[in-house]
Structures are given as C-alpha cells and as structure tokens.
Amino acid sequence: MAETTGEAHGAADAAHGDGGGLVFHPMDQFIVEPLFGDGAVNMLTVTNVTLWMAIAVLCIMALMVLGTSGRGIVPGRVQSVAELAYGFVYKMVEDVSGKDGVKYFPYIMTLFMFIVFSNFLGLIPMAFTTTSHFAVTVVLALAVFIGVTALGFVKHGVKFLELFWVTSAPLALRPVLAVIELISYFVRPVSHSIRLAGNLMAGHAVIKVFAGFAALAAVSPISVLAITAMYGLEVLVAFIQAYVFTILTCVYLKDALHPHH
C-alpha cells in the first residue's frame, strides 16, 4: 500500500492494521519521532528532525568545503556547483539589497543553503522534510524579520519609521497608508514562513494521496503517472520556494537599509 510511495513513513505504516481498500495517511510523513527508542519528544531528543538537518548540514559542508578544497582556477564539477550557488546568491543580494547589503551575504547564504538542501533532501523517498514544518519556517522567517527590523532601527534610528510614511502619496492619504504599510510589515513573517512550509507540505501530501490510489489496480497506472508529474513539479517547487524565501529576505533587507521610498 503506502509503502510503494516511497514517501511513506516506515514505522508509522507498519502500525497500520487497516484492512484492504483505500487508506490515506498523507500527513504521517510529517510526524516527528525519536530516532532511538520510543517516548516523548523533548527539546534535546534526537529525532528524525535531527537526522535530516544533520544530513543537510553535512551535504552543505561536502559541497561548499570539500567541493572547493581543490581551489582550482579551472573548477571541477562539484566546485562549479559551489561557485554557481555562491554567485547565484551573491548576485541576488547585490542586485536586490544593493552594495551595502553584501555585508549580510553570509547570513542569506546560510538561509538559502539550508532551505534548498532541506527541500531537495525531503524529496528523497522515505525522507523527512524539515522545511515542511511551521516550527522551522517560522523560526527562519522570524530571524529575518527581527534581524531586519533591528538593523533598520540601528542604522536609521527613528527615521526607519519613514518606511511606513509614504511621502509620494497625497498628505491626506498618508495616515491610512501608514496603517496599511504597518499591517503589511507585520504580516511579512507570517506569509514568509507559511509560503515555504505550506508549499512543501501540500506537495508532499498530494503525492501521498495519489500514492494511496495506487492500491486500486484500475487507477494505479494513472496514479503512478500523477505521482511522477507531481514529483517533477515538487522538484521545481523545492528550488523556487528556496529562491522566493531568499529573494524576499533580500527585499526586506533592502527596506531596512534604504527605508525611504
């Protein structure tokens, strides 16, 4: 049944005693569980979250550190990928945030590498997608939000509030716009985090639902085709959502560095 999807959660599925027919457990793949033994999940418990975040960290190290250890003037295969990632994010920060945003490039690079590797590792069958959890993406988005807001006040003091005072609008409209701007500013971390987790969760759950249909012989070919198509879409989504998260971070950083409209 669900084991055929590859997205299935092995331990959880083993417990499924339900008889034949259609069984959908699309959300089981998101369960956080201890890696060793059973029991409650405490703050320091080593869980599947730990495992997949560790794999992501190791993959990033392998790409960015081991891959560039040759320091070749003419890059090898892995080194060119590392340079490509570097150039991609560096150019994004420079283009969107401006020259003075380059100072914060390592932070944005950290976010991008973590998200892109978590997203792609989550596409491996049986994997756990760390970035499909709001707990993770909210922390990422709040880190950006708090960091950027603090940076704005440190750099510009009270003048940072000019961000909400649209001087190009007629004077009568400005207070109204200020309220709207203020609300939209505080909605930023919400949309920033939910966009990433929501996209990944939805894609993975949909694949799982299609996989559930594979139990019916009549529709299983369609189901397999649908899974294949969804997987292709999810590969795109994995990269695009990492890109979107990063470029929004750059936009917020630009607002903090240059709050004047």
In the complex, the residues that contact another protein under the rule CB under 8 A are: 11-18, 25, 27-28, 30-33, 38-45, 47, 49-50, 53-54, 56-57, 60-61, 64-65, 68, 71-73, 75, 79, 82-83, 86-87, 105-107, 109-111, 113-114, 130, 132-136, 139-140, 143, 197, 201
Q: Rounded distance, CA 142 to CA 44, Å? A: 22
Whichever of 112 and 160 has its CB closer to another protein, that residue is: 112
Say how many residues make up the chain: 261
Q: How far is the CB of 18 from another protein (least distance, A)?
A: 8
Q: How far is the CB of 256 from another protein (least distance, A)?
A: 19
Which sign does the torsion angle of CA 213, 218, 219, 222 carry?
Answer: positive
Q: Cα dihedral angle (61, 65, 67, 69), rounded to 10 degrees?
A: -160
Whichever of 31 and 177 has its CB closer to another protein, that residue is: 31
Q: Rounded distance, CA 68 to CA 77, Å? A: 10
Q: How far is the CB of 67 from another protein (least distance, A)?
A: 9
Residues 6+ away with beta carbon under 8 Å from 144: 111, 189, 192, 249, 252
Whichever of 15 and 218 has its CB closer to another protein, that residue is: 15
Q: How far is the CB of 175 from another protein (least distance, A)?
A: 37
Whichever of 132 and 163 has its CB closer to another protein, that residue is: 132
Whichever of 23 and 216 has its CB closer to another protein, that residue is: 23
Q: Rounded distance, CA 239 to CA 190, Å? A: 20
Q: What are phi and psi of 47, to 5 degrees?
A: -120, 180
Whichever of 49 and 247 has its CB closer to another protein, that residue is: 49
Q: How far is the CB of 242 from another protein (least distance, A)?
A: 14
CB contact at 8 A, 34 and 23: no
Q: How far is the CB of 48 from another protein (least distance, A)?
A: 10
Q: Which of 246, 149, 134, 148 is nearest to 190 (CA)?
A: 134
Residues 6+ away with beta carbon under 8 Å from 237: 119, 199, 200, 203
Q: How far is the CB of 37 from another protein (least distance, A)?
A: 10
Whichever of 70 and 175 has its CB closer to another protein, that residue is: 70
Q: Rounded distance, CA 200 to CA 5, Å? A: 17
